[in-house]
Amino acid sequence: MRLADPLPDQIQKKLYPVLETDEEIHITLESDLDAKGRFQPSWLIVTDRRVMALELNGAGDDIAVPLEDLTRVAVEPLVGGSCLEVSTADDTIPLIRYSQSRVDVFNEAQRGIEQHIEEKPFQVKTEFPRVVCETCGRRLPTRDGLCPACVSKWGMLKRICAYLGAHRAKAIAMVALFAVLSVAELLPPKITQLIIDDAFENGDKELLFWFVAAMAGLLVLRWLGEMANGWLTAWVGARVVADIRAQVYHHVEYLSLGFHDKQKTGGLLSRVTRDTRNVRSFLVDGLPFLILRWMTTLGIIGILFYTNWVLTLYILIPVPLIIIWGRVLYRRLRTYYTRMWRQWEGFFTHIQESLSGIRIVKAFAQENREVGRFKRNARDMFALEYWTEKQWIYYFSTMGLLNFLGFVVVWLVGGGQVLGQELTLGELILFYFYLQMFYGPLRWLGRVNSWMTRAMSAAERVFELIDMEPENYEDKNAKQMLQTRGEIRFHGVTFGYDAALPVLRDVNLHIRPGEMIGLVGKSGAGKSTTINLICRFYDVNYGSITLDGVDLRDIRLEDLRGHIGVVLQEPILFNGTIRENIAYGKPAASFEDIMAAARAANAHNFILAKPDGYDTILGDKGTGLSGGEKQRVSIARAILHDPRILILDEATSSVDAETEKQLQEAIARLIKGRTTIAIAHRLSTLRDADRLVVLEQGRVVEEGTHEELIANRGHFHHLVRLQKATSEIMEVA
């Protein structure tokens, strides 16, 4: 029995009397919604005889349908959830509704019921991504992801420090210098005490001289130590962050398209730059400060206890107050720092968006509105920053007051002890100096805490990226495939970007080596998705795709994509010369090869006409070239890459007739001898295709040559007719 959620007693009491003695229960699944849509559980039950929906207290609402009456089962997407629907000969019954949280399990249930209807063996997936943290039971922010509550700050710190391992010698030197520095900082007050108590008391000039010399020596030592240490920490900090940043960027490049679809570029940018910088500032400024202060503070407490433990205890009285106070504010400020970061991200995204869309902004004369949006953003930012700083000031003034309490104690209690001859004057001065050094770091403890928090949450965002599963280029089990014949088969492929909404349904397709296939269908029929799957930008949900009989998932990604060349509707060119752009997929290509490719792509002539020829520098996205020119550069790129499998996505749309002729020629040369999959809205451009495949709502509905399909008078014929009508209208206009 699978997909088996435990049934409560009441449901069992309801269920068992209904069932026949030998009836087998196959699925029991808990929904988080009841029939009225309230957040109350209800249950889907599937046996080998019937499907049922049961509720705790809704006898009237319970539904049961015998399996033999079912003709179809489907998931109907709703807004904020879905509904499992079953159809009988004359009606479609909404069986059970569930929220978005239960979509994946109910999808499997749908498959299970479908298998019952079609009398196929009952086989469903039972492993689903984790949604709840195993340690604390909290909902996870990403399926199968990290639980932020269980990722401890110390764990994070340890992880950052692991990066120090590569620079061990310098790290050890750093710690040693810290020790020297803290001694150099601790000794001067002690010497002051000795000057007062020994040199002054005995009127010993020579002793005074030696003490002052020691003091001066310590100051020089401290000066040298600070310089060396500053140099070291700066180097190590910058080095570690550079390491992390390189790793993040490397990782981002290798993350799957599925991830990039969901991410805002601004957010990513801010993670790669701002977050790593925050980690750095913590490593360079925060951490050394923290270590040095802790060492010094421990030293001070030691010396004070040794000098006069009673007075020391008195001084310690305000400490818990200071720490509690720090914690209270820390909790509140943490929230505001996270919000400030979010605000920043929004800021970045807005600036990026409106600047990259500046043409549209200007064309619609919306500069004012964009400026207004920016101002609003800036104002919110101001409010937030102001509030946060205000909290700090409040915190510090109060902290000052608590500190002052300590000094009052020293003068009151310590002064009394001096009068009672229990404490020397030098020791009192010693206390006074140390107290300043002692409370100082305590004041900053809150600051360090927030530095640390800021750095840790930045680090967490960075590590979250690093921990994400990248595309598996280095899968050890994947097979090498240096040669391919270019035979592609789809075996019952079902796929959706959101598993609940399949874009391709049970697609079977056989593309023979060297064949040119044209994919035809309305937009949204699944043409681009088919191509995305062949490139393995996404993995299929069900079924499989094979290349030369090998499942794509078993082929080394690098090999697979090495065999595929892509020419897109919107050719993407990079900032660089035309030469570099043509050689993008094969940087080692010789210049002769590059020119040959450009010739074959009908690009050679227009390139020569440019003043800088092949060395013409293109701006971002290939600015400086016309649409048709960009197309031809991207065709040249594909020709040079020399793939076995070629993908043409609307390569000839929106160009004039002359350019189109040139492009057609170039494409004809390009596809020769390669397995080609082409998408075009303009059906006439697919005339050369060996076979056309018509997709409709994610299914293959027709397949055959141009002539066959026209003769069939089916879907394709209809599409052609529609387009003819449209072009006639266009001509009249």
Which residue ranges make up the site for another protein (CB under 8 A)? 33, 37-40, 78-81, 83, 90-94, 97, 99-101, 103, 131, 138-142, 148-149, 151, 257, 261, 264, 267, 335, 338, 341-342, 345-346, 457, 460-461, 496-498, 501, 503, 522-529, 531-532, 537, 568, 649, 696-698, 715, 718
Q: Among residues 343 and 546, whose Cβ is nearest to another protein?
A: 343
Amino acid letter, 621: K
Of the candidates 706, 693, 664, 673, the one whose C-alpha atom is nearest the C-alpha of residue 567 is 664
Q: Which amino acid is at 568?
A: L
List the end-to-end C-alpha distance of the chain, in Å, as a whole number: 65
Contact 474, 460 (CB under 8 A): no
Q: Please write down the HEC assignment for all residues of 541-608.
A: CEEEEEECCEEHHHECHHHHHHCEEEECCCCCCCCEEHHHHHCCCCCCCCHHHHHHHHHHCCCHHHHH
Is 540:715 a contact under the CB 8 Å cutoff?
Answer: no
CB 605 within 8 A of CB 678: no
Closer residue to another protein (CB): 668 or 722? 722
Which residues are CB-neighbours of 198 under 8 A, at least 6 positions away?
204, 207, 426
Which residue lies nearer to another protein by CB, 220 or 722? 722
Of the pair 26, 461, the CB lying nearest another protein is at 461
Contact call for residues 653 and 569 (beta carbons, < 8 A): yes
∠ CA 306-312-314, nearest 5°, is: 160
Q: Which is nearer to another protein, 460 or 487 (CB)?
A: 460
**Cβ atoms < 10 Å from Cβ of 560:** 21
Which CB, 142 or 508, lies closer to another protein? 142
Distance CA 8, CA 656 (A): 69
Structure token digits, residue 91? 């009606």
Do residues 111 and 122 lie in contact, with contact meaning Cβ atoms separated by under 8 Å?
no
Closer to another protein by CB, 38 or 375: give it.
38
Residue closer to another protein by CB (options 345, 427) is: 345
At residue 202, the 3 state secondary structure works out as helix
Quick check: helix, strand or coil at residue 81? strand
- Shortest Cβ 517–another protein spacing (Å): 17
Residue 602 CB, nearest approach to another protein (Å): 24
Q: Give the H/E segment covering residue 421.
A: none
Q: Which is nearer to another protein, 277 or 339 (CB)?
A: 339
Nearer to another protein, 544 or 697 (CB): 697
Cα separation of 662 and 652, whole Å? 10
In the complex, least distance from residue 692 CB atom to another protein, rounded to whole angstroms: 15
CB 547 within 8 A of CB 488: yes
In whole angstroms, the minimum distance from the beta carbon of 457 to another protein comes to 5
Smallest separation, CB 78 to another protein (Å): 5
- Determine the Cα–Cα distance for residues 256 and 360; give it in Å rounded to an integer: 30
CB of residue 408 vs another protein: minimum separation in angstroms? 36
618: region left, alpha or beta (phi > 0 left; psi from -120 to 50 alpha):
beta
At which residue do the structure tokens 């692991």 appear?
A: 162
Phi and psi at residue 139, in whole multiples of 5°?
-65, 140
Contact present, 300 and 311 (Cβ < 8 Å): no
| CB nearer another protein, residue 414 or residue 502 | 502
Q: Give every CB contact of residue 282 below 8 A, 6+ residues apart in sequence.
A: 451, 452, 454, 455
- Cα distance between residue 468 and residue 553, in whole Å: 19
The structure tokens listed for 170 are 């310098």
Q: Specify whether the backbone of 3 is left (phi greater than 0), alpha (psi in -120 to 50) or beta.
A: left
Q: How far is the CB of 114 from another protein (least distance, A)?
A: 19
Alpha-carbon gap, residue 350 to 106, rounded angstroms: 38
CB of 442: closest distance to another protein in angstroms?
26
Least distance (Å) between residue 463 CB and another protein: 11
Our CB check for another protein shows the closer of 57 and 523 to be: 523
Shortest Å distance, C-beta 353 to another protein: 13
Smaller CB distance to another protein: residue 461 or 641? Answer: 461
Structure tokens at 128: 């689903």
Minimum Å distance from CB 696 to another protein?
6
CB of 455 to another protein, least distance (A): 12
> Residue 116's closest CA among 82, 89, 86, 95?
86
Closest to 403 measured CA to CA, from 370, 372, 432? 432
Closer Cβ to another protein, 148 or 514, answer by number: 148
Beta bridge mates, 52:
45, 64
Locus of tokens 């709703």: 78
What's the token pair of residue 180? 């020297």
Tell me whether residue 338 or residue 623 sits nearer to another protein (CB atom).
338
Min dist CB 66 to another protein, Å, is 16
Residue 40 or 472 having the CB closest to another protein: 40
Least distance in Å: CB of 544 to another protein?
20
Q: SS3 for 342? A: helix
Q: Alpha-carbon distance 422 to 442, whole Å? A: 28
Token pair belonging to 286: 């925060």
Residues 6+ apart with CB under 8 A from 432: 407, 410
> Which residue lies nearer to another protein by CB, 210 or 537?
537
Q: How far is the CB of 648 from another protein (least distance, A)?
A: 12
- Least Å from the CB of residue 96 to another protein: 12
CB closer to another protein out of 80 and 673: 80
Question: 547 and 510 in contact (C-beta within 8 Å)?
Answer: no
CB of 711 to another protein, least distance (A): 17
Minimum CB separation from another protein for residue 28, in Å?
22
